[in-house]
Amino acid sequence: MEKDINEIKVKDNIRKDVGDLTELMDSIREKGILSPILINSKGEIIFGHRRFEAAKKLGLLKIPVEIRDLKDDEIVEAQLVENIQRKDLNIVEEAQALQDYLTKSKKNIEFLSKRLGKSKIYVEKRLKINGLPKEIKEKLIEGKLVFGHALLLARLPEVEATKYMKDIISQDKNVGTARRDLEYSSLSQRLSEACFNKEACKDCKWNGGVQSELFETGKVLNGKCLNPSCFKKKIEEHIKQVKKGFEKVLIKSEDEYSVRTPNGFVDSGYTWSLKENGIDKKYMDKCREEKNPETYLVFVNREGKVTEYFKKPKKSGEKATESKADDNKKGSETWLKARIDSWKNDFLIETSEKLATYNDTFRRVIFWHLAEEYGDGLSLKGRKELFNEKMSSEELSEKIKELGKNIFGTMPEDILEIASKQAGVVYAEHFKMSEEFLQPFTKEQLVSLAKELKMDLAGCVKNGEIKKRIITLWKKGQVPKILS
């Protein structure tokens, strides 16, 4: 039967864009509408939206229709079958249609996949598209991303997915390149190297291994955590707990990755040095149990790696003349000295870098350092290009400044002292009393420091009050003896 085109209504359609109708209009103009448009008794289109729009554009007054009343889920199913088989839908529309069908029909994925003649994985992959941020869906519709990109981005939390999408588009990465780059990106973290308990990570949806079958993005992300925010939070919590256990013997440093070995101590990572200094397992276990800062210090870096430092034990038969109280006092002073040494090194590096004059000689030194930094086989021509063509003057200055700081940071302690003096560092001129400097001092040591600097602490009882008074009363040029 035929029906007046003005009596037909467009209600729901899983298609948001009917696409280019030119070819369809030519066919209708030549042969007419061969397959009737399916409508319900209310005159609403169930499917045939493209044919309807083409007929309107051609100015047809009547079109062939077939009237059939279907339930909501049956309508969605009919539209799905028609459009998927004809590959008319874009991936975003298809994903939403699949979800709508499952919601309205209360059917499961297995039933839907059989009804469509598709695999279960086919349906599951497309359902994942629904979880992508709006911005990524828009890029998919525009054709700036393909389905493989979408599956890769669906492995990441929303914020990280959007960030990586921009990287993919700006650098025009194909799916394979985007997948490989993600493996080495900060957006993926290797679980085997994580310091925290990973039991809960085994079945986590952000575990690359858990996702591998569904997303078909290869095994390169197997064993990777794809939720950097969660990964970082777990590391921070773990480090917090670890540091709490080493509170009495903990070394703090501005360098979150490493710290210089305290004077008189041996880094536990150097087996030959431990052996040479008579530090065996029994002695180390004893130090760990006692947690005495005179013999045992610990540094925890930002990745949770614990580095232990052991003091060389006294020789067999050597008599101890100090009392236990003296031992504790000495241990406290040793700990303070180690932490102040660490602070001092950071201070010297930072101040030296600020004061250093980047003259021709210094630039030559940094030039060499830069060449080494950029790797093996960098020819003289390549080095010249690095300066003359590859970097602007501003970039070069920033690079030299950063590398200047690196050079000071890699110097041995004794050389650092000499280099800092050459750069113009003078404690009396550049030292400033601060909360950071006073942080490792015990109350007794704070009182002693105030006495040394001839400061009145009357009325100060708590550590915080004493620190505040010392900072307030400090005058430029007053340098604590512990720094000399």
Average pLDDT rounded to a whole number, residues 350-379 = 62
For the chain, the distance separating the N- and C-terminal CA atoms, rounded to the nearest angstrom, is 103
385/91 Cα distance (integer angstroms): 47
Average pLDDT rounded to a whole number, residues 155-178 = 89
Lowest mean pLDDT among 43-52, 96-105, 108-117, 322-331: 322-331
The answer on pLDDT for 18 being more than 80 is no
Q: ∠ at Cα 247 (244, 251), nearest 5°?
A: 120
Report residue 477 as tokens. 């040029």
C-alpha distances out from residue 117 to 46, 84, 92, 106, 453, Å: 21, 10, 20, 19, 86
* Buried/exposed code over 197-226 (b: 16+ C-beta within 10 A; e: otherwise): eeeebeebebbbbbbbeebebeebbebbbb
Contact yes or no for 415/352 (Cβ under 8 A): no
Number of Cβ within a 10 Å radius of residue 58: 15
- Residue 78: band (very low, low, confident or very high) from pLDDT cuts 50, 70, 90: low
What pLDDT, on a 0 to 100 scale, did the predictor assign at position 469? 94
What pLDDT, on a 0 to 100 scale, did the predictor assign at position 377? 44
DSSP state of 312: P
106 backbone dihedrals φ, ψ, rounded to 5°? 60, 20
Which tens digits make up the pLDDT trace of 37-56?
777 788 887 767 778 888 88
Lowest mean pLDDT among 214-228, 260-274, 386-400, 449-463: 386-400
Report residue 222 as tokens. 């197997």
343/171 Cα distance (integer angstroms): 43
Bigger pLDDT: 174 vs 16: 174
Tally of helices (H runs) and strands (E runs) in the chain: 23, 9
Report residue 420 as tokens. 């800092």
DSSP 85-118: HHT-S-HHHHHHHHHHHHHHH---HHHHHHHHT-
Contact yes or no for 50/19 (Cβ under 8 A): yes
The answer on pLDDT for 257 being more than 70 is yes
What pLDDT, on a 0 to 100 scale, did the predictor assign at position 396? 63
Which tens digits make up the pLDDT trace of 121-144?
888 888 989 989 999 999 998 889
What pLDDT, on a 0 to 100 scale, did the predictor assign at position 214? 47
| Whole-angstrom Cα Rg for the chain | 35
- Residue 438: band (very low, low, confident or very high) from pLDDT cuts 50, 70, 90: very high
Bigger pLDDT: 345 vs 330: 345
Average pLDDT rounded to a whole number, residues 274-288 = 90
The answer on pLDDT for 61 being more than 70 is yes
Set out the domains of the chain in order of their start, with CATH numbers: 2-120 (3.90.1530.30), 131-230 (no CATH), 246-342 (no CATH), 427-484 (no CATH)
Lowest mean pLDDT among 246-250, 365-369, 445-449, 458-462: 365-369
Average pLDDT rounded to a whole number, residues 190-202 = 82
By C-alpha distance, which of 114, 135, 137 is closest to 126?
A: 137
437/184 Cα distance (integer angstroms): 38
The answer on pLDDT for 71 being more than 50 is yes
116/77 Cα distance (integer angstroms): 9
What pLDDT, on a 0 to 100 scale, did the predictor assign at position 375? 46
273/258 Cα distance (integer angstroms): 19
């009325």: which residue's tokens?
Answer: 459
The answer on pLDDT for 372 being more than 70 is no
- Residue 302: band (very low, low, confident or very high) from pLDDT cuts 50, 70, 90: confident
Report residue 282 as tokens. 């029994």
User: In angstroms, how far apart are the furthest CA atoms of the chain?
Assistant: 114
440/455 Cα distance (integer angstroms): 19
18/49 Cα distance (integer angstroms): 7
Bigger pLDDT: 221 vs 438: 438
66/62 Cα distance (integer angstroms): 13
Lowest mean pLDDT among 255-264, 394-403, 469-478: 394-403
DSSP 120-168: HHHHHHHHHHTTS-HHHHHHHHHTSS-HHHHHHHTTS-HHHHHHHHHHH
- Residue 77: band (very low, low, confident or very high) from pLDDT cuts 50, 70, 90: low
The answer on pLDDT for 320 being more than 80 is no
Bigger pLDDT: 414 vs 188: 188
175/147 Cα distance (integer angstroms): 9
Contact yes or no for 299/250 (Cβ under 8 A): yes
The answer on pLDDT for 315 being more than 70 is no
Lowest mean pLDDT among 38-42, 297-301, 387-391: 387-391
